[in-house]
Amino acid sequence: MKKQTCIIILLIGWLLFGSQSPATAQTDTLKANRYITRATLYGAGFTNVYDTYLSPQEYKGVEFRLSRETMRMTKLLDGNVSVQNLLQVDVSYTHNRVQNNNQFTGMINWNYGLHYQFRITPQFKILAGALIDTNLGFIYNLRNTNNPASARAFVNLDASAMAIWHTRIKNYPLTLRYQANLPFVGAMFSPHYGQSYYEIFSLGNSSGVVQFTSFHNQPSLRQFLSVDFPIRYAKMRIAYVADLQQSDVNGLQTHVYSHIFMIGFVKELYQLRTKNGSVLPPSISAY
C-alpha cells in the first residue's frame, strides 16, 4: 500500500512539474518578451573623413561616440524573433594632411531591426534579419567660405547578422557578440557637384538631389564586436566598432571610416505591467 501511494505521488508530481503544457509554454513566451537587455556605451577612436563637395583632401582625427541599445524577444514566429533598437551619436574633429585646416563632423544614426534567432547550442546562437538604418549629420569645413558645410542624410534597409556566444573562463562568465550590418537598398540626399544649397532650397533647383542607393554607389559596412562581463553586481561591456561608410552620388565622393573603442554598462530588466498600463522594472535578470 505504501509503495502504491509513493508511485501515485510521484506520478502527480511529474504531471504538475515535469511536463509543460501549451499554456505554460505560451506563458514562458510572454515572459521572455518582457526581458530587456539595455546597454549604454561611451567611446573614442580614429576617423578618416573625405567629402569632395568641401575639399579634395582627406581629414583625419579623433571621434567621440555615444550609443544606447536595447534588445528583447518578441512574440513573432513562436517567440524566436528579437528586436534591436540602437541609437548612436558621434562627433569628430579632424585636420588635413598639411595641418592648415580643420573640420567638424557630426552624425545621428538610428537602427531598428528584427532578427530570427537560430539556437545552435544552449550557449551559442546565430541571428539573421533586417533593419532600418537612418542617418542625419553634417561636415563643417572651417576655412571654406562659399560652401562651408555639407549635409549628410540617408536611409537604408540593411541586411544584418549576429552571433552571440555565452562562455566561461574557468568560472568567470563572458558573453561575446559580433554583428555586421550591410546596406542593401536605400535613398540619399546629395547636391550635384558644384551646386550650392542656396540653389536647392532658395531657388528650387532640387532635381535629382535624392538618389537611389545600393551596392553600386554606397558600398558600406558597420561592424560591432563586444564582450560582456560582470564586475561584482554590475555588468560591463567593452566593444570595438568599425563604421565604414562611403558613397559616390551625383559626382561627389564621400567616405567616413571610423574605428571606435567603447565601454559602458549593461542592464537586464524584467518588465511588469500594472493595471493602469505603466511599466515597472522591479528586478534585474541574467541575459
Task: Convert the pLDDT of each residue in 138-157 to its tens digit.
Answer: 999 998 877 899 999 999 99
Instruction: Quickly tell me which residue has 549628410 as its cell.
Output: 152
Percent of the chain with pLDDT over 90: 70
pTM for this entry:
0.83
Average pLDDT over residues 5-32: 43
How far apart (Å, rounded) are the C-alpha atoms in residues 234 and 280?
A: 20
How far apart (Å, rounded) are the C-alpha atoms in residues 61 and 72?
A: 36
**Residue 24 is placed in which grid cell?**
505554460
Cβ contact 186:154 at 8 Å = yes
Residue type at position 59 = Y
pLDDT band at 31 (very low <50, low <70, confident <90, very high): low
Residue type at position 179 = Q
How far apart (Å, rounded) are the C-alpha atoms in residues 107 and 219?
A: 18
pLDDT band at 21 (very low <50, low <70, confident <90, very high): very low
| pLDDT higher at 16 or 94 | 94
Q: What integer pLDDT is reported at residue 270 of this predicted model?
A: 65
Residue type at position 28 = D
Percent of the chain with pLDDT over 70: 82
What pLDDT, in 10s, does the model give residues 171-227? Answer: 999 999 999 999 999 999 999 998 999 999 999 899 999 999 999 999 999 999 999
| pLDDT higher at 52 or 143 | 52
How far apart (Å, rounded) are the C-alpha atoms in residues 46 and 19?
A: 55
What pLDDT, in 10s, does the model give residues 156-172? Answer: 999 999 999 999 999 99
Average pLDDT over residues 90-116: 96
Residue type at position 89 = V
Q: What are phi and psi of 200, to 5 degrees?
A: -70, -50
Q: Name the helix (H) or strand (E) containing 90.
A: strand 81-95
Q: Name the helix (H) or strand (E) containing 13.
A: helix 2-13
Domain boundaries, the chain: 1-30, 33-284
**Residue 98 is placed in which grid cell?**
598639411
| pLDDT higher at 261 or 283 | 261
Local structure of residue 276 (DSSP, 8 states): T
Three-state SS for 19? coil
Question: What is the third-level CATH fold of 33-284?
Answer: Lipocalin (2.40.128)
How far apart (Å, rounded) are the C-alpha atoms in residues 281 and 273?
A: 9
Quote the distance between the C-alpha of residue 11 and its chain's center: 49
CB atoms < 10 A from the CB of 182, how many?
16
CA dihedral defined by 269, 273, 276, 278, rounded to 10 degrees? 20
List the one residue out of 255, 250, 252 whose CA is nearest residue 220. Answer: 255
Q: Name 67's Cβ contacts closer than 8 Å, sequence gap at least 6.
A: 39, 40, 41, 43, 86, 87, 88, 89, 241, 262, 264
Q: Name the helix (H) or strand (E) containing 31.
A: helix 22-32
How far apart (Å, rounded) are the C-alpha atoms in residues 285 and 33?
A: 13
